[in-house]
């Protein structure tokens, strides 16, 4: 097989890249180890930055999002039994965020890509990436449990296959040690997330830090809610029966004159939290995008948005290479992408440390975080900085 750009992974980075390349008249093939059903039914929350929703509309994949998603002009911060509405729209010139689950985004992207005649190979595991220091890189892959190993020849390889995928492995093996750096922070707490069939409790997301930790209240639909609470990083799901979950949520989200609606819990899971960045994000003809290059804790709602930002930068560089024979944008992809990555990492770290209780940290830090929250409440410049980061920073062309 041959194509211009070989893409490993049918997550947000891989699928958005395929659409962006198609718009630019560049061929691509996506290899995805999971089935289409697994990709489309893996439930993950999604808060889309303003520019991402605009991009989906430009690409012709935003119709269902516009019908079904919830646009939010702000978020609610809660601490010490007080609530504060952060007016994102008012602080950012009318911009807003859109709550639309990630798997719904993927459903839309997959359907549209197949309708375009795009080649997407599900149940296809990339086994190795060869020749990334040459002009003829390739991906060795196997389809199905007993499929014959085949090769996808391409001009460039984009690994959008997550933290444990072969893309990052190939990058680590190829780059000389002195040029490769990985930065990581593993947080001593995790999120316990639930999906519950219950009526909406609040009109926008609530981020709370009170009593014994963090909680988040968000809406999936008028009858289905997504809720999270902080737990220990080594907790087992069995340690959290439904009664304990609701008691913790009621305690941390409690507010006078307000009720958190309860209902049957349809799904629950524990999500570890980490911050991670791999530098550089390219070597030879191999490029990393999304979780293969960086991971953020979900507190700042940056994961999907950052993956899309990577491939927007990369697609422009590939278009310049194919249409104008310019190599400079491809050569500068990593540096350009990392400027945005580190800003998102900083914001996600700030939101995470401010809104969680860390028993391993001194009490002094807890007081600082309470001061941060109060500064957002009382200082417009601070509030505006948080709002601009939350809704999505502009691209610095």
Give the model confidence (pLDDT) of 210-256 as tens digits: 888 999 999 888 899 999 999 999 999 999 999 999 999 999 999 98
- Which of 227, 220, 255 lies closest to 79 in space, CA to CA? 255
Q: Length of the chain, please? A: 397
The answer for 123, left when phi > 0, alpha when psi is -120 to 50, beta otherwise, is left
pLDDT the model gives residue 242: 97
φ/ψ (deg, to 5) at 4: -80, -50
Q: What mean pLDDT do residues 43-69 have?
A: 91
Active site residues: 72, 207, 298, 302, 390
Q: Which residue, chain included where needed, has tokens 């809660």? A: 78
pLDDT the model gives residue 219: 84
- Please enumerate in sequence order all residues whose Cβ is within 8 A of that of 100, keeping only pairs 6 or more positions apart, or say none: 46, 48, 53, 65, 68, 69, 70
CA–CA dist 93, 111 (Å, integer):
34
φ/ψ (deg, to 5) at 363: -60, -25
- Which of 133, 87, 111, 115 lies closest to 39 in space, CA to CA? 111
HSE value, Cβ hemisphere, 13 Å, CA-based, for 177: 0
End-to-end Cα spacing for the chain? 36
194 has pLDDT over 90: yes
Alpha-carbon distances, residue 161 vs 113, 139, 290, 291 (angstroms): 18, 13, 8, 7
Cβ pair 68, 219 in contact under 8 A: no
Percentage of the chain with pLDDT > 90?
82
For the stretch 340-354, pLDDT in tens is 999 999 999 999 999
pLDDT the model gives residue 89: 96
Cβ pair 29, 18 in contact under 8 A: no
The torsion of the CA quartet 381, 382, 384, 390, rounded to 10 degrees, works out to 160
pLDDT the model gives residue 20: 98
Cβ pair 179, 207 in contact under 8 A: no
pLDDT the model gives residue 395: 73
Percentage of the chain with pLDDT > 70?
99
Secondary element (H or E) of residue 232: strand 224-232
DSSP 2: B
pLDDT the model gives residue 84: 96
Query: Residue 102: how many CB atoms within 10 A of its CB?
Result: 19
- Which of 124, 161, 155, 160 lies closest to 28 in space, CA to CA? 155
* Paired tokens of 153: 């020849």
184 has pLDDT over 60: yes
Per-residue confidence band for 394, with pLDDT thresholds at 50, 70 and 90 = confident
- Which of 356, 331, 304, 320 lies closest to 51 in space, CA to CA? 304
For the stretch 142-175, pLDDT in tens is 987 677 889 999 999 999 988 877 777 777 777 7
Q: What mean pLDDT do residues 35-41 have?
A: 90
For the stretch 96-155, pLDDT in tens is 999 888 899 999 999 999 999 999 999 999 998 999 999 999 999 998 767 788 999 999
CA–CA dist 10, 30 (Å, integer):
7
397 has pLDDT over 60: no
pLDDT the model gives residue 380: 97
CA–CA dist 229, 298 (Å, integer):
12
86 has pLDDT over 60: yes
pLDDT the model gives residue 396: 62
pLDDT the model gives residue 331: 96
pLDDT the model gives residue 36: 92
Per-residue confidence band for 63, with pLDDT thresholds at 50, 70 and 90 = very high
Domains of the chain: 5-69+101-183+274-357 (3.50.50.60)
The pLDDT mean for the chain works out to 93
* Paired tokens of 56: 């989906």
pLDDT the model gives residue 145: 67
pLDDT the model gives residue 105: 95
**What is the Cα gyration radius of the chain?**
21
Q: What mean pLDDT do residues 365-393 have?
A: 96
Cβ pair 125, 117 in contact under 8 A: no
Alpha-carbon distances, residue 121 vs 29, 32, 110, 137, 314 (angstroms): 8, 6, 11, 19, 22
* Paired tokens of 347: 């914001």
pLDDT the model gives residue 366: 92
Q: Three-state secondary structure along 95-141? A: CCEEECCHHHHHHHHHHHHHHCCCEEECCEEEEEEECCCCCCCEEEE
314 has pLDDT over 90: yes
Q: What mean pLDDT do residues 311-317 have?
A: 97
Angle at 219 between CA 14 and CA 371, to 5 degrees: 95
């Amino acid at each position: 097989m041959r194509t211009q750009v070989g893409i490993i992974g049918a997550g947000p980075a891989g699928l958005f890249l395929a659409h962006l390349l198609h718009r630019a008249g560049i061929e691509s093939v996506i290899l995805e180890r999971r089935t289409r059903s697994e990709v489309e039914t893996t439930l993950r929350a999604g808060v889309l930055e303003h520019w991402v929703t605009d991009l989906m509309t430009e690409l012709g994949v935003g119709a269902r999002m516009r019908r079904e998603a919830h646009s939010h002009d702000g978020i609610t911060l809660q601490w010490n039994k007080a609530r504060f509405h952060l007016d994102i729209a008012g602080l950012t010139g009318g911009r807003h965020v859109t709550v639309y689950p990630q798997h719904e985004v993927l459903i839309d992207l997959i359907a549209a890509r197949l309708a375009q005649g795009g080649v997407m190979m599900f149940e296809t595991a990339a086994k190795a990436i060869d020749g990334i220091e040459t002009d003829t890189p390739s991906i060795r892959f196997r389809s199905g449990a007993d499929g014959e190993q085949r090769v996808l020849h391409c001009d460039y390889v984009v690994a959008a296959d997550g933290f444990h995928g072969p893309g990052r492995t190939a990058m680590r093996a190829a780059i000389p040690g002195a040029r490769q750096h990985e930065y990581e922070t593993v947080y001593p707490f995790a999120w316990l997330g639930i999906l519950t069939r219950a009526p909406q409790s609040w009109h926008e997301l609530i981020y709370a830090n009170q009593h014994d930790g963090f909680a988040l209240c968000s809406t999936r639909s008028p009858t289905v809610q997504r809720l999270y609470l902080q737990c220990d990083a080594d907790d087992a799901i069995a340690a959290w029966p439904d009664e304990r979950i609701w008691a913790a949520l009621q305690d941390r989200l409690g507010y006078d004159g307000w009720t958190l609606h309860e209902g049957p819990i349809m799904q629950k899971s524990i999500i570890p939290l980490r911050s991670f960045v791999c530098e550089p994000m390219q070597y030879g003809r191999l490029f990393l995008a999304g979780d293969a290059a960086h991971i953020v804790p979900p507190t700042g709602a940056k994961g999907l948005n950052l993956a899309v930002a990577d491939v927007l930068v990369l697609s422009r560089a590939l278009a310049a290479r194919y249409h104008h024979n310019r190599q400079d944008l491809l050569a500068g992809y990593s540096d350009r992408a990392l400027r945005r990555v580190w800003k998102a990492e900083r914001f996600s770290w700030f939101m995470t440390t401010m809104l969680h209780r860390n028993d391993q940290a001194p009490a002094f830090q807890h007081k600082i975080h309470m001061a941060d929250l109060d500064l957002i409440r009382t200082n417009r410049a601070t509030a505006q900085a948080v709002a601009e980061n939350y809704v999505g920073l502009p691209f610095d062309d």
